Amino acid sequence: MASMVTAEMFHSLQKKDVMRKMTETFDEETGLQYKKFMAYPWILTVTWPVDMDNEDYPLIRTGPYWKKFKANFCEFIAVLVQQCQCSILYDSYLMDTIISLLTGLADSMVRAFRHTSTLAAMKLLTAVVSVHLNLDVNKHNAQRLYEVEKKRISGKRTNYRLDQLERKRKEYEHKLLEIQNMMNAIFKGTFLNRYRDVIPEIRATCIEEIGSWIKTYPDAFLNDSYLKYIGWMLYDKQAEVRLKCLLGLQGIYSRKELVSRMDLFTSRFKDRIVSMPLDKDHEVAVQAMKLLMLMSQNCEDVLSAEDCETLYQFVYTTHRPLAVAAGEFLYKRLLSREGDEEVQPKGGGKFGASTDQLKRLIRFFLESELHKHVVYLIDSLWDWAGKFLKDWECMTTLLLKNAEDDGEALSDAHESALIEIILATVREAAEGHPPAGRGAAKKILSVKEKKIQLEDCTKITEHFIMVLPQLLAKYSTDAQKVANLLQIPQYYDLDVYSTGHLEKHLDALLREVKDIVAKHSDMSVLEASSRTYYILCSEEIAIYSQVDCARTQLIDELMGQLDQLLDGFWQKEEGFCMDAGEISRMHSALRRVAAFHNAHDLTKWNVCDKTLRLLVFEMEHGSLPVLMILPALQCTYFSLLWQLAAVSENSPKETLFALRRNLRRFSQICTCFLHHKEKDVREKVFMILCDWLLILSHQDSNNNEETLGLLDYLPNTSLQEKLLVFIQEHVFIEEEEESKDLTEEEERKDESCKLDDLHKKRSLLAAYCKLIVYNVVEMTAAAEIYKYYVKTYNDFGDIIKETLSRTRHNNKIQSAKTLILCLQQLFQTHAESQDSSSGVDFSSASFTNMKELARRFSLTFGWDQVKSRESVAMIHKEGIEFAFQGATGVDGKCLPPNLSFLLIISEFSNKLLKPDKRLVYAYLQRYVAEPLLCRGDEWQPLIWYRNSLLANEDEESSVLSSSGEWSPVGASKTSFKRKLSNGSLPETSQTEAASKAPDPQCASQLASAAGKSRKRLKSREMHLQEHLPFLCPGGLRRRYCKDEIKTEDVSEEGQAEDTIEDVDVDVVGADQDS
């Protein structure tokens, strides 16, 4: 079927009549697939495939073929205009026809027509603009030739030549007038109507092309009459359109000769562009930052100081492309200035330019007050400022410079910042990938990048091998600076020590590290020193023996100091009577040993016996200060870990027995310290116990029977209970806060303390949840944790949810039982708090919270009902059994005390598959054999729960209306949305009633009704029993599965294949009468 528009009709009819003629035979209901428009049959025929269901047409299809098709389509339009630009273009026929056709189709209600014609019209206008530009150039050339010829001496001038040039000039003017008319017709007829189209692809096409017109022919288009459309569309809802606006503006602002003509546009839309780096679309944000970079370069003072300060902060964003674009802006705007290479500050020497840039970078870093984010700052600048960021010689020279040599020496804050920058640049150069949290995992380096990385590592090693000892000597008393400097050796190429014969510098480094260990007790410094020894003590390198000797000597001294202090402590008659100086010395000695024991095996120094004796003394007397207890616990823990790691099949039994004895003693100490008077000690031993239990529970991977014997006592029931009580008391019980009038500074400190306390609580909870996830403690212990899911969702919701997910992955059934156990315990607590005579108050806060918790649990199962069917079915089974506990008689004729629990588990009904709902309903029927007795308000939870299972079940609703077995309330005023099957209601009612009260006559009707589908239903029933056997016990299968479920399936023949169906249920019983 086709609709034809002839030439006569086109000239005689109005535009709307032509459009009506084009689409008058387009009928969606008949499924028309092809539409033919013939405006001029002898010139142009356009055939459009139309699919109104999915609106699929070539321009929106994906894949390389359709991308090529679109490119070829656009190229065809450009070539058509180019080939016709000499004469045919101006015949007042072809272009008029095409423009009229495209303008008409661009107003079509059919998206395919509108999109395709708009794209064609925009590309046509782009090609016409190019022709206009060429004509304008030719016209100016002809005008110049005419002026030159006219100025010639009259004797040499020929009138023929002047007349020829005049005719040529007028011809160009005529063609330009024609072209301008075409441009105006397309712009007004298509662009003005479609740049605000509801389809974002059409809007993006219009904005993209107007940007190209402005760049191609600025004399005609670079004015506010056209720029305003780009400015307006910067506010578009779709990122694709905003992106096209920014790309178009980049092409304009990149040309200095055009920027001067955009003052009004810049002043009007600058604020919007400055805000766009915050765009939710990453690509839009990146291109906005690049546009601002161009504006900053080519527009003087267009960005205020406040604007720049805002934009600089984007170097700390986690999205790396945006951070790199902001890094370019920061580098070119603030750090790198013209003439820096020529500037030689006094005393700067050959590092004058780099020194100036470094000082500006340090000032920016300090003023931003984001000191912990220096690695992000360096990563953002790396692509643009890599040259001066790798100038470690300049950086270290600046640090080693004395105030006497140069009055402009760095302040203490500037030195700290520069050391952080040095560490960040060394890390970036050595690792070659972005810091954590920015970008994907470690990227695969190319051959060129690997070569650069190796060269940088060699450069780092050769420079810092000689300079680092000097820096450590200068800043040996500053803990923060030393801790950062000691991290640099981990990026060394250690072979350079031996190949370059630089052992003397190694000795200098070891001397400085040893001196630092003796001076400091700060844990970050001690751990950095310990790690430095660990890195240098690699057995594969030549310097191992030299470093190992120095390490042994250092540890001997540390242990000698500790032994001396311990001997003095035990020699006193009352060992716990120590002054502050002795406590501080003991604290420092224990911390040093603990820091080195973390990375080095100190077993031969017998650390464990020394620290265990201290802990036993504290357990018996309880008088040691916390400063001694905490490092002693840490030393003992590390010592036992090293001993456990050294256990092998060849270990002597005496060693294993001694280790077992120490393990048990340490476990008893930690268990006792769970009730210590000091909170820090309690939290420390809890974390140690959790880690310890987790490690020991996975030692069976060694397949060593002797090692397995170490685990006999872990974890016992008493210890599990104590750990759980600890979590409840220290994590979930909020401490009462006293209302105080605090100053602003005190409030800030108080807020910081609260955040630190929350972090500790999250660490404690995560450590315990790991024990649950890895089956170290019983999964049922998680029930106590799940109770607080809703109440503490903001603080601990992510940890509890992850625990629930992991336990479900380990064991679906046991995880489901844990969930229902959690709800049962809450229900029992609620019931005990209620007045037994008045029953359960459904409107109480505790009951509402239970329902909300059940709803949240239900949401964790997601949309895949097949994946979670066993878990959800187990929840219903356990819930039904709990609800009918305590009912007198097998038939449940007396009201069960926990019947209201059915309201709680009804929150899980929408997660059941339709066949599983029938099984759960049949299981419920097992406890309610005589529904006629279940009347009254007190049975309302049973009715609500039953209705939640029967939502969208026609057969059950028909039973409700015909048999009268249930309460009239549920029979007449249910508020469910039902999908009635065609003609199945009467049969279903009869067969369902037969299943409830079977008799011979109904049984015969049942057999005749189900005859055609018996084989299919039998196989389906076997499948259900295979997946959910706990819902189909022997008696239940004989009673219900044989008759009831089969008869239900008779009315569901047309829907038997729907194993997953979304159930649309209102609030059950909301409008029921009592």
Query: 582 or 153: whose pLDDT is higher?
Result: 582
- Compute the average pLDDT of residues 230-237: 96
User: 3-class SS at 44?
Assistant: strand
Specify the pLDDT at position 258. Answer: 92
Rounded Cα gap, residues 119 and 123, in angstroms:
6
CA-based torsion, 35, 38, 42, 43: positive or negative: negative
Q: Is it the case that residue 190 has pLDDT exceeding 90?
A: yes
Rounded Cα gap, residues 969 and 956, in angstroms:
15
Query: 19 or 330: whose pLDDT is higher?
Result: 330
- Compute the average pLDDT of residues 1015-1035: 50
Q: Are 111 and 55 in contact, with CB atoms under 8 Å apart?
A: yes
The string of pLDDT tens digits covering residues 24-55 is 444 443 333 333 444 444 333 444 444 444 46
Rounded Cα gap, residues 464 and 819, in angstroms:
58
Burial (CB < 10 A; 0-12, 13-18, 19+), residue 405, is exposed
The string of pLDDT tens digits covering residues 762-808 is 999 999 999 999 988 999 999 999 999 999 999 999 999 999 999 99
CA-based torsion, 758, 759, 762, 767: positive or negative: negative
Q: What is the DSSP string of 700-724?
A: GGG--HHHHGGGTTTT-HHHHHHHH
Per the prediction, the chain carries an average pLDDT of 79
Spell 684-693 as b/e; 16+ CB within 10 A means b: bbbbbbbebb
The string of pLDDT tens digits covering residues 370-421 is 667 899 999 999 999 888 899 999 999 999 886 555 556 788 999 999 999 9
Q: Are 907 and 854 in contact, with CB atoms under 8 Å apart?
A: yes
Nearest to 177 by CA among 141, 223, 142, 131: 131
Specify the pLDDT at position 714. Answer: 57
The string of pLDDT tens digits covering residues 815-837 is 999 999 999 999 999 888 876 65
Rounded Cα gap, residues 1056 and 914, in angstroms:
10
Indicate the pLDDT class of residue 1069, thresholds 50, 70 and 90: very low
The string of pLDDT tens digits covering residues 121-157 is 999 999 999 999 988 888 888 888 887 777 775 655 5
The H or E element spanning position 46 is: strand 44-49
Percent of the chain with pLDDT over 90: 49
Residues composing the chain: 1074
- Compute the average pLDDT of residues 291-297: 94
Percent of the chain with pLDDT over 70: 75
Indicate the pLDDT class of residue 1000, thresholds 50, 70 and 90: very low
- Of 741-745, 818-822, 948-952, the poorest mean pLDDT is in 741-745
Q: Is it the case that residue 84 has pLDDT exceeding 90?
A: no
Compute CA distances 641 → 304, 614, 692, whole Å.
59, 19, 9
Indicate the pLDDT class of residue 1054, thresholds 50, 70 and 90: very low
Specify the pLDDT at position 858. Answer: 93
Q: Which amino acid is at 928?
A: V
Specify the pLDDT at position 658. Answer: 86
Compute CA distances 209 → 95, 203, 228, whole Å.
19, 10, 14
Specify the pLDDT at position 436. Answer: 85
Rounded Cα gap, residues 377 and 384, in angstroms:
12
Q: Is it the case that residue 736 has pLDDT exceeding 50?
A: yes
Nearest to 1013 by CA among 989, 991, 1033: 991
Q: Is it the case that residue 517 has pLDDT exceeding 50?
A: yes
Indicate the pLDDT class of residue 1031, thresholds 50, 70 and 90: low
The single-letter DSSP state of residue 906 is G
The single-letter DSSP state of residue 797 is H
Specify the pLDDT at position 539. Answer: 83
Q: Are 1048 and 918 in contact, with CB atoms under 8 Å apart?
A: yes
The single-letter DSSP state of residue 1052 is T
Nearest to 208 by CA among 191, 183, 189: 191
The string of pLDDT tens digits covering residues 920-931 is 988 888 887 665
User: Rounded to 10 degrees, what is the CA torsion of 858, 861, 863, 867?
Assistant: -140
Please name the residues in contact with 149: beta carbons below 8 A apart, sequence gap of 6 or more.
Answer: 157, 161, 162, 165
- Compute the average pLDDT of residues 1057-1068: 33
Biggest CA-to-CA distance, the chain: 134
- Compute the average pLDDT of residues 429-452: 83
Q: Is it the case that residue 984 has pLDDT exceeding 90?
A: no
Indicate the pLDDT class of residue 650, thresholds 50, 70 and 90: confident
Specify the pLDDT at position 715. Answer: 73
Rounded Cα gap, residues 559 and 568, in angstroms:
14
3-state secondary structure 877-900: HHHHHHHCCCCCCCCCCCCCCCCC
Compute CA distances 907 → 226, 359, 902, 950, whole Å.
58, 63, 9, 14
Specify the pLDDT at position 1034. Answer: 44
Specify the pLDDT at position 1022. Answer: 52
Q: Is it the case that residue 218 has pLDDT exceeding 70?
A: yes
Specify the pLDDT at position 14. Answer: 57
Please name the residues in contact with 833: beta carbons below 8 A apart, sequence gap of 6 or more.
Answer: 846
Describe the crossing of helices 159-186 and 94-106 by its angle, rounded to 10 degrees: 20
Q: Is it the case that residue 1006 has pLDDT exceeding 60?
A: no
- Of 231-245, 256-270, 344-358, 738-752, the poorest mean pLDDT is in 344-358
The H or E element spanning position 3 is: strand 3-4
Strands 44-49 and 34-40: antiparallel
Rounded Cα gap, residues 60 and 55, in angstroms:
9
Describe the crossing of helices 717-727 and 653-673 by its angle, rounded to 10 degrees: 40
Q: Is it the case that residue 981 has pLDDT exceeding 50?
A: no
Query: 448 or 886: whose pLDDT is higher?
Result: 448
Q: What is the DSSP string of 381-436?
A: HHHHHHHHHT-HHHHHHHHH--TTT-TTPPPHHHHHHHHHHHHHHHHHHHH-SPPT
Q: Are 492 and 465 in contact, with CB atoms under 8 Å apart?
A: yes
Rounded Cα gap, residues 853 and 859, in angstroms:
10
Please name the residues in contact with 449: beta carbons below 8 A apart, sequence gap of 6 or more.
Answer: 432
Query: 409 or 233: whose pLDDT is higher?
Result: 233
Q: Are 882 and 901 in contact, with CB atoms under 8 Å apart?
A: yes
Q: Is it the case that residue 910 has pLDDT exceeding 50?
A: yes
Specify the pLDDT at position 42. Answer: 36
Nearest to 78 by CA among 123, 134, 44, 135: 123
The sheet with strand 3-4 has its strands ordered as 3-4, 34-40, 44-49
